[in-house]
Amino acid sequence: MAAFMREEESYMNGFRQSKIEVAVVGDGASGAILCAQLLRSIRPDEIHVRWLGRSKKFGLGLAYSTSDPDHLLNVPSKGMSAFENDPLHFLNWVQARDKKASPESFLPRQWYGEYLSALVPAGHPSLTVHPDDVMQIQKVSHSYQITTRKNETHPADVVILAIGHCLSKARFGRRPSFPLAEVDGQARILIVGTGLTMVDTVLTLGRAPRQNEIVAISRHGLLPMVHARHDGNPGASHFRKIIHGSKPPTLRQAFAAMRTDCAEAESRGGDWRSVVDDVRPFIPSVWKSFSPADRRQFLRHVVHFWDSHRHRMPPEVAEKIYYLINSGRLKIKKGRFTSLVEEDGSWTVNWRSDTHELRRERFDHVFDCTGLSRDLGATDSPLVRQMLRDGLLVISDPPLGAFPAPEAAGLEVLGHLLRGEYWESTAVPEIRKQAAAIVDRLLKLLN
């Protein structure tokens, strides 16, 4: 999402005569990938990159801070390079330490965190790193002023927001970022949500010698599907046909085409996964062409289906999860909560099952694994709130994220914030593409 091309002329006039000051805000995977791509492409005398983030260790962010060896990437290593034009970059890096890693391996996320941390060359002459929380970004004439929690200010001609998940407070109990090792091994646990965050939490809490009984509840009770090798043949012929038609498809048409493709793939002895994988790169453009009403329909009626098929578990993870289910330690249920009350260190949970029965159960811990909020307007981030208030960011419709206002020349965003614009905007294949587009726009300004 570029704002800086729209006012290119006035913006260029505003550049300092010396180096262009680029501030990258956010120290997770998006910030690391963006910085790495940028530093690969520029001459040190052209640009100074200021990388700001609130974490102790840069490059890890929410997904790759884990040290649990059972937490695996849910994308095979061949899909995880930080550079779209160098697709085996991650695999080559990994193979230098583990010769057995193959393009199809699902590797520990901790390794990916190490890859990301190593990606941005410390001591690069064009880079300075600032561990600090960015509280405000204000437009000052043709550039920006960044104010941090430590009350430092930094000038920037270009600001790139890579602030990621913008998680608000847990709606139910605690977030699983709580140190799970501290949870008593006999405690009874409720997990709200049945997606990949639940899977991560269960992998940690379900590991022997722990004996926790875990109940995971979500509205549809759908577990993520399991990855399987498929022939890789592009399977989405009906879907491709309608998106390349004279009019952009409606949600109903797009979804119907995809279902037909899945049915045909299966009837040929193929696999629905080849259809989902084939459709995925088109989602950002299809989502953009959907009306806000269609986007809302998707969130109401389709998202659970899409998520469980698109965000899949590696087979070795699925084996552990199904072992826990079959041994009765993990129960997956469908239902809605009517109340969760914490009293004297335990939780009383009232919920209604899919058969409309009212249930009351007690748990020692409740973990909120419901994932990302769908209302950026309710974010706790002071920075995002200020930028929305000052009109630098505009909230998407529906309010899943935000994009730079047309007047905010020099402001770029990538990753989660763009979910409202592209829907598929949070995984590495999308992030590296968005980063490359930002770097391209920046280089065009230099030439």
Ligand X SMILES: Cc1cc2nc3c(=O)[nH]c(=O)nc-3n(C[C@H](O)[C@H](O)[C@H](O)COP(=O)(O)OP(=O)(O)OC[C@H]3O[C@@H](n4cnc5c(N)ncnc54)[C@H](O)[C@@H]3O)c2cc1C
2 lines the binding site for ligand X (CB under 6 A): no
Maximum separation of any 2 CA atoms in the chain, in Å: 70
What residues between 184 and 213 interact with ligand X by CB under 6 A?
A: 197, 200
Q: How far is the CB of 383 from ligand X (least distance, A)?
A: 4
218 lines the binding site for ligand X (CB under 6 A): no
Of the candidate spans 38-46, 256-264, 401-409, 426-434, the one that interacts with ligand X by CB under 6 A turns out to be 426-434
d(CA 394, CA 43): 33
Which residues, other chains included, contact 214 with Cβ-Cβ below 8 Å and sequence gap of 6+? 189, 190, 191, 202, 205, 206, 324, 329, 330, 331
d(CA 28, CA 337): 33
What residues between 116 and 175 interact with ligand X by CB under 6 A?
A: 133-134, 162-165
Of the candidate spans 71-79, 208-216, 298-306, 330-338, the one that interacts with ligand X by CB under 6 A turns out to be 71-79
d(CA 372, CA 400): 9
Q: How many residues bind ligand X (CB under 6 A)?
A: 32
29 lines the binding site for ligand X (CB under 6 A): yes
Q: How far is the CB of 399 from ligand X (least distance, A)?
A: 18
Which is closer to ligand X, CB of 48 or CB of 419? Answer: 419
Amino acid at 185: G
226 lines the binding site for ligand X (CB under 6 A): no
Q: How far is the CB of 253 from ligand X (least distance, A)?
A: 28
Q: Positive or negative, the Cα torsion across 328, 329, 332, 338? A: positive
Give the chain's count of helices (H) and strands (E): 15, 16
Q: How far is the CB of 362 from ligand X (least distance, A)?
A: 28
Query: At 422, is the secondary structure helix, strand, or coil?
Result: helix
Q: How far is the CB of 112 from ligand X (least distance, A)?
A: 7
Q: How far is the CB of 137 from ligand X (least distance, A)?
A: 9
Of the candidate spans 46-54, 81-89, 321-329, 342-350, the one that interacts with ligand X by CB under 6 A turns out to be 46-54
113 lines the binding site for ligand X (CB under 6 A): no
Q: Which of 3, 52, 107, 214 binds ligand X (CB under 6 A)?
A: 52
50 lines the binding site for ligand X (CB under 6 A): no
**Assign residue 141 a region: left if phi > 0, alpha if psi is -120 to 50, beta otherwise?**
left
427 lines the binding site for ligand X (CB under 6 A): yes
d(CA 34, CA 36): 5
Which is closer to ligand X, CB of 135 or CB of 222? Answer: 135
Q: How far is the CB of 177 from ligand X (least distance, A)?
A: 10
Q: How far is the CB of 343 from ligand X (least distance, A)?
A: 31
Q: Which of 1, 11, 22, 30 binds ligand X (CB under 6 A)?
A: 30
d(CA 213, CA 328): 8
d(CA 145, CA 170): 32
Indicate the helix (H) or strand (E) that contains 188.
Answer: strand 188-192
d(CA 317, CA 303): 23
d(CA 140, CA 143): 5
Q: Which of 36, 48, 61, 101 binds ligand X (CB under 6 A)?
A: 61
Contacts to ligand X by CB under 6 A: 25-31, 52-55, 61-63, 73-75, 133-134, 162-165, 197, 200, 381, 383, 415-416, 426-428
